[in-house]
Structure 1
Amino acid sequence: MTVNPAHTALWPAPHASGAVDATVHVPGSKSVTNRALVLAALASEPGWLRRPLRSRDTLLMAGALRAMGVEIEETVSSSSSGAGGQDGTGEAWRVLPTGLHGPATVDVGNAGTVMRFLPPVAALADGPIRFDGDPRSYERPLHGVIDALRVLGARIDDDGRGALPLTVHGGGALDGGPVSIDASSSSQFVSALLLSGPRFNQGVEVRHTGATLPSMPHIRMTVDMLRAVGAQVDTPESGGEPNVWRVTPGALLGRDLTIEPDLSNAQPFLAAALVTGGKVLIPDWPERTTQPGDRLREIFTEMGGSCELTEFGLVFTGSGALHGIDVDLGDVGELTPGIAAVAALADSPSTLRGVAHLRLHETDRLAALTKEINELGGDVTETADGLHIRPRPLHGGVFHTYDDHRMATAGAVIGLAVDGVRIENVATTAKTLPDFPELWTGMLGQ
């Protein structure tokens, strides 16, 4: 077996010599890019995605759609610097929905959006579509999507695993209609069915039956993006039944969409301002957004910073003090690793709640954060639904990432304040944040 050198290489996390003062252009949102690709592929006319994120997850999504027959043309404007500029300013993807067909094999990598959003699309294809991915992808729950698609009329072979690998035998159409699912382990189960719902013969009515539903902002993002391309969606927020979403069948419009910066990927840079008592400007921060990362403004302010949304973007300033926090992160679980990193450096304990579902993410993030912070001298304990963090003086050491991009950036945040932190496989950040090491050292002026 050949070992990827990037997995064994240890990246010395830069130690901050003083307060940061930087402008950081954060690339486009993965969540928006991948939803936009799916909707454009299902549209009745061509569409454009401008400033899309180019990362492992989005390239896997584009590659999967191409394998199913969708044409995606990549262009770079002549006015942009280099290959689209580091922030992708000059890049655009033109999506031509030329019909879905198999046979095809889709590599999902370890991308939750690809493994969950595309089986419903594959059910609309003409022919078999096989889904496979990284070893960790076999452990991530897919039963919500698989079981629901069978109820809606799809034929799927998964050998009873409720997980990858699997084959969807597309019949060129899907009946659709009402279905009940338990999406407690991932809101992506709901989004997956809603995104393809307009193309089902009867549309779709998704009823969530579980006790909890994490990451509601991501469902709101799905609904907003569906409505923007002409879909009719009834939601609990719009006067519908609690925990029920209805999508009416109909054609989707091609759109010319500019992708917002990924606010969750802005987290380590905002944390750097907080940890060092410095200032960071994130250009093009949207005034209104469904991205969960927007909540960082509130959370990091409570932990000791201040922010201002200006005509240039979000200016975040650290005060030089770091305070603990007691916070429910159920709606914004992906922010947990970065918040835990800051909490480990704070002046008082923190409790992070509502994130039991993180045990099923790219890795078991609660176990991973506990182990890695504690091995640097920290005092973190797992709770039933989160973490309790008691700050202690930390020391250098190896911070393992478990092929999880947010573990890598969390380690980098700790490294700002703790000399001698070395991050194993920092290259895993390419999943959603290409060129992270260069962006990080550039922010620090190193």
Structure 2
Amino acid sequence: MTRILIVGGGYAGLYTAWTLERLLRRGEAKVTVLDPRPYMTYQPFLPEVASGAIEARHAVVPLRRHLRRTRVVAGAARRIDHAHRTVHAVGPDGQALTFPYDVVVVTAGAVTRTFPIPGLLDEAIGLKNVEEAVAIRDRLLTAFDRAAALPDGPERARLLTVTFVGGGFSGVEGFAETLSLATELLAYYPELRREELAFHLVEAQGRILPEVTERPGRWVVKHLRSRGGIVHLGAKLVSAVGGHVELSTGEEFDSELIVWTAGNAANPVVAKHTDLPVDTRGYLLTRPDLRLGSVDEPVPDAWAAGDDAAIPDLALGGASFTVPNAQHAVRQARLLAANVVATLRGLPTRDYEHPSLGVVATLGRGHGIFQFKRLVITGWPAWALHRGYHVLAVPTWERKLRVLLDWLPALAGRRDPASLAAVSRPREAFRRGGTPPPERSDAPTSLVA
């Protein structure tokens, strides 16, 4: 049988395998998905996972549960050697893995783009994976608990200061959702005042949300500021050493939580460790029919879709590339699978062309923005559109139902303020037993219980 290897089990990878299972005849091909995680993450839900609006497990789709005729392997690709039709990978325990193939589909996904800013890698956290979203929520809730036990002062102010760097969709949605969470948390903390919260959104450009036009972008800035958010436009992060934030504008402040969402970069495997054709940014050069290569020189048996692929946007004339979002990823994956099957059977392929359905963003519970061409909707209607669209878009009916069950009770009640930060240290209580925790040397001595 033809061996089809899918490198990456994210949104595009899952839908490619899923569609191949439906289209391939039994015995026609053997499909393998290689990914270090056993699940697909629905990234548009991560801001709401960070705010507790969605349970973390409901934002992921287990690969083995839904890919019944596909081999799923836990491993991280390290090199794609197309000349020898081989992918070299590393397994969960560090063991070397080798995967020969006849056809390769690269859907490895992009990674968070970082810069050599002092303190960034030591202090900041991304918002690319569900583990990061959970950690953001738990760290914010823990900061509230710690701040409520302290008197007014620099340490309390630092604990109640949150900084998001990056004004794209991920940054704005994450910022707005956690700001909404923090505002609602004050009902549980009578010791804390609203004016003590300091939520900073830092964007290097002069505007946020480049996916929408300028006027709606200005409205979002005004809206976030009206809710107490501090939006820094035309400002870059200069240093984050020790949690002390320094901006290019000269502003400085201490921040307990720093979230970095300043764009994506090509997966290093694709950008640096393959003989497949890539552009100057490190993205795979992809034809309109989703084969790799140029229009005149396709690369045999190599395909790509999703965030790592530079795919001409035929709906806009082909001069630009499709943007990396969910609506493109799922449609590219379905067409890619159909084209792979067509090629196996000696049939012609089809080009990918999809006009945008518009953009929609959550800005916290009851707040949102939607734009389709010149139509702009804000507030509750946009928030409802956001939820409706993504419930339809998240894979599997089982996950759609779970997300709806997360949302419905939240409409009538407050958010859950329980932090599960100790989950990252599950053996600490067992090891310590009845021994009280050590006192912090910098702990205040004048507090009265």
TM-score interval, normalised by the smaller of the two chains: under 0.3
| TM-score scaled by length of structure 1 | 0.25
Based on CA coordinates, which of the two structures has the bigger radius of gyration? 2
